Amino acid sequence: AVNKAGYGAFQVRLTCLAGLGWLADAFEIIILSVIGDFIACDWPL
């Protein structure tokens, strides 16, 4: 099915967009875990 439909600019853009979404989701979790330690030191949590 992929061979018949081809792989063009739309698929490349869609793959890059999905990759950026995945990266943003993973980066959010990393940032929250790092910042959470600093906030816990400054505020009595």
For the stretch 24-37, pLDDT in tens is 999 988 998 889 88
Q: Rounded to the nearest 10 degrees, how much is the dihedral formed by the CA atoms of 41, 43, 44, 45? A: -90
For residues 1 and 24, the model is more confident at 24
Which positions ≥6 away from 45 have C-beta within 8 Å?
39
Q: For residue 42, which amino acid is it? A: D
Domain that holds residue 28: 1-44
Provide the number of structural domains found in the chain.
1
The answer to pTM > 0.85 is no
Q: Which pLDDT value is given to residue 1?
A: 66
Q: What pLDDT does residue 19 have?
A: 97
The band of 3, judged by pLDDT with boundaries at 50, 70 and 90, is confident
